[in-house]
Structure 1
Amino acid sequence: MKIDIPGTVAGAVADAVSGNWVDRFAPDWLKPYARLARWDRPIGWWLLLWPCWWSSALAREAAGFWLPNFWHLALFLIGAIAMRGAGCTYNDIVDRKFDGMVERTRSRPIPSGQVSVTQAIVFMGLQALAGLVVLLQFNTYTIILGFCSLVVVAAYPFMKRITYWPQSVLGLAFNWGALVGWSATQGTLGWPAIALYAGGILWTIGYDTIYAHQDKEDDALIGVKSTARLFGNWTETAVTLLYIGATVLFILAATLADAGPLAFLGIAAGAVHFIWQIIRLDIDDNDQCLMLFRSNKIYGWILFAGFTLDALVANL
């Protein structure tokens, strides 16, 4: 049975941005699928995209190029949207019973009855196919590396049932692009990519802990685990340490890639953004938690701008 949440656009998901393009402009037949893929909430694909773009920019600078490969950037963008959508669809299929018991997620297309499980599986397959087409545009090493990520992606939805650290598995999956972005340019892996990947994992645990505080009461009732529940009132300290660790590893990645001063300036500016997040953090204010989580899109731009401008200036 289809459920509409009072006070919202018919069929809209509770945590979508008000007035998003899906609710306003998408045809009615597409809206449930667009919501299933989170096209109404683009922050997810931005967070999946940033490690790809950071790594691509660093790899190009290390190889002596003055700008990123724009064809690669475009492929990563398409791939991030497709695979984030496929991943969210898979996650919603696996979590459909839990989602129906949580206030923020019960309006999602599957538990609200807008999309059947069979329809969701077909839609997931189409998105995965689009991601495969993108992956096949890269070198053989990168294609194999990309396929390896599927193991982590498949495991993630089940982690919240068995560990208080599901955010760490999300970090492993969401930052795989740090490896792929490097190998797409270099044809192999390198220590800068590994350092960037490790830093991205800590970054993801930090921002997703903030995000998970929106659901901590419902999660406790239904037995879902998260770092938000694990850290509790120590969340501010934990996120601070995670962000410090991420910053140190990003500095290491830039150092190993022989980056110049603008890259480090970008990392420093990103650290200021981290400090702002921690100062503003109120784990009992769901709207604030969501706003801070979404602000990591800005953090991504800061690092990417630093890496890109550094390569440009170095090769003038």
Structure 2
Amino acid sequence: MTASVLPRSKLAQYLDLIRWSRPAGWLVLLWPTLSALWLAAGGFPGWHLLIVFVAGTILMRSAGCCINDVADREFDRHVKRTAQRPVTTGEVGVREALALGAVLALAAFALVLTTNATAIALSFPALAIALVYPFAKRHVSMPQAVLGVAFSFGIPMAYAAVQGQVPPEAWLLLLGNGFWVLAYDTEYAMVDRDDDLKIGMKTSAITLGRWDVAAVMGFYVVYLAVWLAVSAARAPSPILYAAFALAAAQAAWHYTLIRDRTREGCFVAFSQNHWLGATVFAGIALSLAVAG
């Protein structure tokens, strides 16, 4: 007699929905946000802001997963990597997923309310861009650029929370970070290219075509150059330059993973990007500590 498979608990379904077992998704959001916090504060920003931005990043990424999976539920069933997502399979209902997303977003907003008026004001366009992104994939040839703005908005919010204003360097860092998002999310899109072509989804991997690998490497170069220029102006040190050299070496390793455009290699490259972001953050934080 075959043993019956027990249904998963509601908690297990929700944790799957928000990708709790795959922290790489929120880590690539967290590292540039923390880097901006340290640069804005000239060092450790204090426990209050650290807790607000770490918890807020995790909450908003989780809310974004709920919204994205509802918007893409009809497409996801045709993509190998996403066919078993709980909203797509019907394990979690649409209203249920939206309600969970709303609760998570409100919790993140409650954290922002403990900062200042400038940061609170910026949270509204940040939310709007996050809501728009899932639908950009139907109409924009490079939706990863929209994601780049959404995933980088923690940077001006970090400056606002620390300084009560958003100086030009924050927007420059946002621009530079957008190129990093283009790099790693194009790697992600390369995993699903065959499936996305069949269902008519628009992605950077499809738009770039045979130039995808070269473009990804170019995106890495722009990202690292912008962030190094801003960071070196604030806290130049051998530690900073060594960290960025190590980050560049990681980007070069990614080339070896994606050059043959295999699903496995492209997914590994995407999933390991959080280490690159962590390296940049470590370089910035340690340089500021030495300078201070």
- TM-score (normalised: structure 2): 0.93
Q: 2:280 aligns with which of 303, 313, 316?
A: 303
State the partner residue of 1:150.
127
Offset at residue 38 of structure 1 (A): 1.2
State the partner residue of 1:199.
176
Q: 1:37 aligns with which of 6, 15, 18?
A: 18
Q: Distance in 2 between matches of 1:101 and 1:142?
A: 39
Unmatched segments (≥5 aa) in structure 2: none
Q: 2:27 aligns with which of 26, 37, 46?
A: 46
Cα distance, 1:245–1:10 mapped onto 2, change above 3 Å: farther
State the partner residue of 1:286.
263
Q: Distance in 2 between matches of 1:270 and 1:36?
A: 31
Q: 1:171 aligns with which of 127, 130, 148?
A: 148
Q: Distance in 1 between matches of 2:32 and 2:164?
A: 17
Q: Following superposition of structure 1 onto structure 2, how do residues 95-174 of structure 1 map, counting pairs within 5 Å?
A: 95-174=72-151
Offset at residue 251 of structure 1 (A): 2.0
Q: 2:191 aligns with which of 194, 214, 218?
A: 214
State the partner residue of 1:314.
291
SS of equivalent to 1:110 = helix
Q: 2:235 aligns with which of 251, 259, 274?
A: 259
State the partner residue of 2:65.
88
Offset at residue 283 of structure 1 (A): 5.0
Offset at residue 237 of structure 1 (A): 0.7
1:86 maps to amino acid: A
Q: Distance in 1 between matches of 2:225 and 2:64?
A: 29
Residue deviations 1:167-211, cap 9 Å, x none?
000000001111111221111011221121111000000100001
Offset at residue 131 of structure 1 (A): 0.8
Q: 2:162 aligns with which of 180, 185, 193?
A: 185
1:250–1:267 contact (8 Å) kept in structure 2: no
Q: Distance in 2 between matches of 1:178 and 1:283?
A: 34
**Matched-pair identity in %:** 35
1:260 maps to amino acid: P
1:51–1:176 contact (8 Å) kept in structure 2: no
Q: Distance in 1 between matches of 2:50 and 2:255?
A: 31
Q: Distance in 2 between matches of 1:273 and 1:106?
A: 31
RMSD: 1.7
Q: Distance in 1 between matches of 2:260 and 2:143?
A: 18
Offset at residue 308 of structure 1 (A): 0.8
SS of equivalent to 2:172 = helix
SS of equivalent to 1:104 = coil
Offset at residue 230 of structure 1 (A): 1.4
SS of equivalent to 2:10 = coil
Unmatched segments (≥5 aa) in structure 1: 1-8, 12-26
2:45–2:162 contact (8 Å) kept in structure 1: no
Q: Distance in 2 between matches of 1:282 and 1:308?
A: 33
- TM-score (normalised: structure 1): 0.86
Q: Distance in 2 between matches of 1:284 and 1:277?
A: 11
1:192–1:252 contact (8 Å) kept in structure 2: no
1:267 maps to amino acid: F
2:13–2:91 contact (8 Å) kept in structure 1: yes
Structure in which a larger fraction of residues adopt helix: 2
Q: Distance in 2 between matches of 1:294 and 1:71?
A: 29
1:254–1:264 contact (8 Å) kept in structure 2: no
Offset at residue 50 of structure 1 (A): 1.6
